[in-house]
Amino acid sequence: MRCTTVIAICLACSSSKPIPAQNGSGTTVVPRTPEDAMKQAIYPADALLAWLDQLPARAMVRMPVLVQIADNRTYVESAKVGDALDALEIDANDSQMGVPIAGKWGFFCKQGNTCMLTLTGEWVGGKRKKFQVREVEKAIADADRQSATYAEAID
């Protein structure tokens, strides 16, 4: 009988699936996989901000950001993660880039002063919700905005 119990325990421990646990309130909790922990939905904004703020200091993040440049096209006027009305507004600081976002505007965004971009940079956070942009990866076409709904922590 003991041998059967030991085998059952060993089989349970060797399972590749996460074992659900109770959190004390009767709700089953399934641990997040490492891949899941690296991504966060950008809506609602408060959940995204909480996720960003719990990342290690100066964590590198990739996010879909709706950028608006000034009418004279010399600096970023505003930025928010996503294009919903209640999207998280951030300070997309591009001062440490060789060529700032406005300098690359014509390459990524053909017309207008507003464009959705995939930006990579360091989340600094704080009161201003600073995002130190390191790279403009690509423009996100209007037709693809509906699928640009995740931020991702990257190595």
- Rounded CA-CA distance 27/24 in Å is 7
CB 92, CB 114: distance < 8 Å: no
CB 21, CB 12: distance < 8 Å: no
Q: Give the pLDDT confidence score for residue 21 in this predicted structure.
A: 42
Nearest to residue 48, comparing CAs of 59, 34, 30, 63? Answer: 63
Q: What is the pLDDT of residues 31-87, one digit of tens each?
A: 455 556 699 999 999 999 999 999 998 899 999 999 999 999 899 999 999 999 999
Q: Is the peptide bond before 44 cis (omega within 30 degrees of 0)?
A: yes
Q: Give the pLDDT confidence score for residue 110 in this predicted structure.
A: 84
Nearest to residue 121, comparing CAs of 47, 67, 74, 70? Answer: 67
